[in-house]
Amino acid sequence: MVRLKGARDQHRVSVADDFWPLFARYVSEERGLAEPAQAAWVALRKGHGRPLCYATFESQLRALSGRVGVSVTAHMFRHALAQALVDTAGLKVAQEVLGHAHVSTTAASYAHVDEHAMVRALARVNDLADLAARRSAPTAGDGGRPGAAPGFAFDYDAETVAELDAAAGGERGS
């Protein structure tokens, strides 16, 4: 369980089985605490061993980042994790880990269209459609569609084909 800032007080975070031995070692060796049941992050100076609150963590992070000349906030870690989750595991997993009540909240912040990937995917679909059309009409290389651009399932004009090729970086069909 992780304590959250704001109205919600706790959030369950799933971890793999191999996490616990590593976490216990971190708590023992790095933090000098007796067991993982205690808070993993504690204030060692002014807090005298009390659990580290978000505001303290944020202020210390800003102070440290200022010393090294970068701009870092605690929320940047959340955004980095969220984007990695969306990219690798999908919106529903990210929604659960982030604790968003609605998937639309997660999608609005982290789901972005990769235009190059979209063009490549559409080109693959077009190639498959073109292959299917050639199988159904094997005598015509363009699927029997008069004036159709070769390699596309639809009747694109030359200007549109050039735009699609340029957006895909000339990778159509790869």
Residues 127 and 87 in one domain: no
Q: State which residues form the domain around 125.
A: 115-167
Question: Looking at the domain assignment, is residue 161 inside a domain?
Answer: yes
What's the full length of the chain, in residues? Answer: 174
Give 94-134 pLDDT, tens digit per residue: 998 888 889 999 999 998 888 888 888 888 888 887 777 77
Split at pLDDT 50, 70, 90, the class of 158 is confident
Nearest to 27 by CA among 57, 8, 51: 51
More reliable by pLDDT, 57 or 1: 57
Residue 82 lies in a domain: yes
Nearest 10 degrees: CA dihedral of 139, 142, 143, 147?
-120
Residue 123: inside a domain: yes
Same domain, 120 and 105: no
Q: Is residue 41 part of a domain?
A: no
The tokens for 81 are 């994790």
Given a contact cutoff of 8 angstroms between Cβ atoms, the answer to whether 10 and 4 are in contact is yes
Looking at the fold, whether 104 and 86 belong to one and the same domain comes out as yes
One domain, residues 108 and 119:
no
- Alpha carbon separation from 96 to 1, 6, 28 (Å, rounded): 13, 17, 29
Residue 132 lies in a domain: yes
The more confidently predicted of residues 34 and 163 is: 163
Backbone angles phi, psi at 80, to 5 degrees: -65, -45
Whether residues 106 and 131 share a domain: the answer is no
Among 9-13, 49-53, 63-67, where is mean pLDDT lowest?
Answer: 9-13
Based on the structure, what is the number of domains in the chain? 2
131's tokens: 């292959």
- The pLDDT score that the predictor gives to residue 130 is 77
CA angle 97, 98, 102 (to 5 degrees): 105
Residue 12 counted as domain residue: no
**CA angle at 118 for the pair 125 and 170, rounded to the nearest 5°:** 85
In a domain, 94, yes or no: yes
